[in-house]
Amino acid sequence: MTAHITNSGPGIAATVPADEVCGVVGCGKESKRSLSTKKVKEALPELQLVGEPRRVHLCKDHYKQFRKKTKEERELDRATWQ
Ligand SMILES: [Zn+2]
C-alpha cells in the first residue's frame, strides 16, 4: 500500500489536490507554476522532488528560488565570458 506517493505537508495540503501541490518533498504548499523537471533539477539539484514527473509544480516560494538561481547562473555565465 505504499505505491501512491503523496506530498501532503502537515496540516496544509489536505484540501489541495495532489497535482496542485508543490512537487518538492516536504513542502506541500499550493503550486503556482508548472516547470520542466529537467530545468528545475539543473537549477536546484539540491531539491528533492516527488517522483520523476515530466513537469514539476512549484509553489510561489520554490519558484522564487528557481528564478533567483537561474538568474544567478546567467550572470555567472556572463562573467566568465568577460
Ligand atoms: Zn514548494
What is the domain range of residue 16? 3-81
Report how far residue 22's alpha carbon sits from residue 28's, in angstroms, rounded to the nearest whole number: 6
Contacts of 8 (CB under 8 A, 6+ apart): 14, 21, 28
Q: Please state the domain count of the chain.
A: 1
pLDDT attached to residue 40: 95
Whether the model pTM is above 0.85: no
Q: How many CB atoms within 10 Å of residue 68?
A: 12
Mean pLDDT by 10 residues, the chain (82 residues): 56 61 94 95 94 90 95 73 58
Residue 40 amino acid letter: V
Residue 47 CA to ligand 1 center (angstroms) comes to 10
Give the separation between CA 38 and CA 30, rounded to whole angstroms: 21
Instruction: Enumerate residues with CB within 5 Å of ligand 1 (an ion).
Output: 22, 24, 27, 29, 59, 62
Amino acid at 39: K
